[in-house]
Amino acid sequence: MLHDLFSPDVQHALDLVGIFVFAISGALLAVRKNFDVFGIAVLAEVTALGGGLFRDLIIGAVPPAAFTDLGYFLMPLVAAVLVFFLHPEVERTQTAVNVFDAAGLGLFCVTGTTKAYDYGLGLTSSAALGLATAVGGGVLRDVLANEVPSLLRWDRDLYAVPAIVGAAMVVLCIRFDALNGFTSAAAVLTAFALRLLAMRYHWRAPRAWNRRSSAREEPEKATAQ
């Protein structure tokens, strides 16, 4: 099904663009954490390829595309070298990086869902793996950098929700036999637009209902114990 939506060349080019942008975000976090050149390269690779690797291993698409296509492996290294030498300039273009990151999020949630369905998963499982494809690399990045994943932090703009919406649109189109190039593009653009709006207006997910803030007390209790 995936090859019916995009030609192989177009699909490959889009994948490389998404991988490059995700790798930039991983490399920038490594610089902020004062990692050495190896750490920058590792974080770039993990951020760019982590979600796709997880998806491919789950659905049995082995060896994963990251190990069969040299471009997938080299593109994060290119991003790492760029950030290593030009990170002040890259930081100044952070807005542009965020826009491309949002585009990669929209693309990967759609292609990830479609690929999972191609390999025989049900609609719900396919949507879940589409989400994992889009956000998995970022989660691994934050874990390796010893941070609470942005995906789980209430003080960060919505990230997973746009991917969930995009993946849900894909499975609904599959369910009603309406998935084609136009509807796939609509799902990508919807996720992309939601992410941009979340960044522009700082949309965030709600916390627990009637929550009483005790975040400052909990670490003290843990220390005392």
Q: Per-residue pLDDT tens for 105-117?
A: 999 999 999 999 9
Q: Which of 3-17, 29-43, 151-165 has the lowest mean pLDDT?
A: 3-17
Q: Is the pLDDT of residue 219 over 60?
A: no
The owner of tokens 């499975």 is: 171
Rounded to 5 degrees, what angle do the CA atoms 109, 91, 190 make?
Answer: 25
Q: In whole angstroms, what is the distance from residue 60 CA to residue 136 CA? A: 17
Q: Is the pLDDT of residue 100 over 50?
A: yes
pLDDT at 200: 94
Closest CA to 194 of 103, 131, 110, 120: 103
Q: In whole angstroms, what is the distance from residue 123 CA to residue 29 CA? A: 34
Q: Decide which of 165 and 208 is more confident.
A: 165
Q: In whole angstroms, what is the distance from residue 225 CA to residue 222 CA? A: 5
Mean pLDDT, the chain, integer: 88
Report the length, in residues, of the chain: 225
Domain map of the chain by residue range? 2-205
Report the percent of the chain where pLDDT is more than 90.
67
Claim: this prediction has a pTM higher than 0.85: yes
pLDDT at 93: 79
Q: Is the pLDDT of residue 213 over 60?
A: no
Handedness of CA 49, 50, 51, 57 (dihedral sign): positive
Closest CA to 1 of 143, 121, 152: 121
Q: In whole angstroms, what is the distance from residue 65 CA to residue 49 CA? A: 9
Q: Is the pLDDT of residue 188 over 80?
A: yes
When pLDDT is cut at 50, 70 and 90, the band that residue 94 belongs to is confident
Q: Decide which of 217 and 196 is more confident.
A: 196
